[in-house]
Amino acid sequence: MNKIIELQDLGSKDYKDTWDYQEFLFKGIVDTKIKNRREDANLETSNYFLFVEHPHVYTLGKSGDMSNLLINEEQLKAKGASFYKVNRGGDITYHGPGQIVGYPILDLENFFTDIHKYLRILEEMIILTLAEYGLKAERSKGETGVWLDVETPFARKICAMGVRASRWVTMHGFALNVNANLGYFDNMIPCGIRGKAVTSLNVELGKKEVDEAEVKEKLLKHFAVLFEAEVVKQDVKV
């Protein structure tokens, strides 16, 4: 089993271009697995972790409700935002500057074959990272993602998640609000959940800006431990 995960930080990159790149990496892993089974080959499958920041974009998951987007095409253009229906789980979400987006593209057969466990580990990575900033983050029963003050009237979401998995290969992932412009969340019903707010790390810490490179390092540290993996950085940008 290959427990080496190749890290690629794509910087700021268009959502559709990144989605296409995810599909390319995803297909490469799936094709290798198919070859192994058909030809009784023993080829190693790769694992990837992409960091990226997207220009303003709203995406709707397979089970999402279009009515959760509260603005029309003309208003999207006025706000400099785009919109895509995508092949991940979950409902609607927003990506934009000041948000750390992570896309693990893993062959889970290199680690464990349990999607529920996979999602809980991604949540745990976020929870442990936020704990380093003095925040008590937690899960909300029945709602994937990471929250603050769940059992209070002030519940607010700080990290959204939505994944796709086929043949135990994953894609899509998580979006952690670090220095995000929260005004863009007003244009949708986040994840289709009414009555709960959205927040960002800088807001919670009372800072104008949080060092995103530092947050990424903390995320990777916990990711590697939780997956019992070795993360190797690749400087190639696509």
For each of the domains in the chain, give its residue range(s) and CATH number, in order of start.
4-234 (3.30.930.10)
β-strands 57-60, 82-85 pairing:
parallel
95 is in an annotated binding site: yes
Within 40-114, residue ranges assigned H as helices are: 73-78
pLDDT, residue 125, reads 98
Cβ–Cβ contacts within 10 Å for residue 116, how many? 7
Is 173 annotated to bind a ligand? Reply is: yes
pLDDT at position 193 is 62
**Residue pLDDT, tens place only, 30-68:** 999 999 999 999 999 999 999 999 999 999 988 888 888
Residue 157 in 3-state DSSP? strand
| Residue 26 labeled ligand binder | no
pLDDT digits (tens, 9 = 90+) for 195-216: 678 999 999 999 999 999 999 9
When pLDDT is cut at 50, 70 and 90, the band that residue 235 belongs to is confident
List 106, 191, 201, 210, catalytic entry:
191
Residue 129: the pLDDT is: 98
pLDDT at 228 exceeding the cut of 60: yes
Q: Sorting pLDDT into bands at 50, 70 and 90, what band is 192?
A: low
How much is the pLDDT for 135? 98
**In percent, how much of the chain has pLDDT > 90?**
80
Alpha-carbon gap, residue 20 to 8, rounded angstroms: 15
Active-site residue flag, 191: yes
Q: Which two tokens stand for residue 77?
A: 């253009």
Phi-psi sector, 232: left (phi>0), alpha (psi -120 to 50), beta: beta
The model's pTM is 0.94
